[in-house]
Amino acid sequence: MVKGNLAVIVCPILEDELIYNLSNDNEEKNIFLLENPNIADISRKLTNNGLNFELMDEFMFMNGMETFPEEKFNVIIMMKDMGLHAEPEILKENLRETLLFMQSKVDAFALYYGLCGNANKGLEEWAATHLDKPVTIFRDASGKMCDDCIGVAVGGTEQYYNLQKKYTGVLYYTPAMATKWKDFFTTNDMFRGVETKSYDRIKMVLEMCDYHDVLMVPTGLGDEKEFEESLNEFAKEFNFNIKYLEPGWVTLEPTKRIYDEAKASLNG
């Protein structure tokens, strides 16, 4: 029986992976969601998937004024702002500050992020000297950190490279990326400095980069109807063609691995 407090720090683009993990974990657990401006979607998804959770004041938690049931398995979810991705260095500093500040309040961490523009490059070495609690992150079968949300979906860097060789000049959209496409533009390096409220300018940038297709990456996570509707909305707005990734590319191995390893770390 697993006991202890697991802090899960989550990028909104990878929240469906956490919902999958929690839904498929039969272990008795208490789920706490820290209240901040980024929790609307995951709150809805937790409820829709029948996952009971308790809201907790983030300020109170971070300042050590909250306690958890003893001798129980407690999952504490902190959702991060997707806008942090706009600058890898800012994302790096934010995540490391969060880990440092939270480590006295939990027993282990699961970081639902990839390398994310090398923001998490060297994380293991940094954690070894700055943290006294274990941290798990998305990895492929060889133990290599996944590049980003697409790398997580296809099983790691090597398969991601193969995907890029086969599908050049296209945007890749997982379900969460599709349903959050308007916010996603603000975090993409390609559109840094572009006024995202003006789709005409974004269309111009996409045209200059010769992007005309969007690839649907069916992870099997999230709401399939929302996925299709959002992707169609995006394609219509930007006059993109929709391509569909054929079977055999997508895997849930990194998603299963991060959660299983995080739970195992609670038991030492």
- Per the prediction, the chain carries an average pLDDT of 92
User: Which residues does 119 contact at the CB level (< 8 Å), separation at least 6?
Assistant: 85, 88, 89, 91, 92, 95, 113
Q: Give the pLDDT band of residue 194 (cuts 50, 70, 90).
A: low
Q: Are 112 and 8 a contacting pair, CB within 8 Å?
A: yes
Question: When comparing pLDDT for 118 and 250, which is higher?
Answer: 250
Residues 144-180 have pLDDT tens digits of 999 999 999 999 999 999 999 999 889 999 999 999 9
Is residue 244 over pLDDT 90?
yes
Q: Which CATH architecture has domain 4-147+252-266?
A: 3-Layer(aba) Sandwich (3.40)
Distance separating alpha carbons of residues 55 and 33, to the nearest angstrom: 5
User: Which residues does 222 contact at the CB level (< 8 Å), separation at least 6?
Assistant: 16, 19, 45, 174, 175, 176, 179
pLDDT value at residue 117: 86
Is residue 197 over pLDDT 90?
no
Is residue 87 over pLDDT 90?
no
Strand-by-strand arrangement of the 30-35 sheet: 54-57, 30-35, 73-79, 4-10, 108-112, 135-137
* Domain boundaries, given as residue ranges, for the chain: 4-147+252-266, 168-244
Percent of the chain with pLDDT over 70: 95
Question: When comparing pLDDT for 257 and 202, which is higher?
Answer: 257
Residue 242 DSSP one-character state: E
Distance separating alpha carbons of residues 80 and 37, to the nearest angstrom: 9
User: Which residues does 245 contact at the CB level (< 8 Å), separation at least 6?
Assistant: 167, 215, 216, 217, 218
Q: Give the pLDDT band of residue 186 (cuts 50, 70, 90).
A: low
Residues 16-62 have pLDDT tens digits of 999 999 999 999 999 999 999 999 999 999 999 999 999 999 999 99
Is residue 103 over pLDDT 60?
yes
pTM for the predicted model, two decimal places: 0.93
E strand residue ranges, the chain:
4-10, 30-35, 54-57, 73-79, 108-112, 135-137, 170-173, 213-216, 241-244
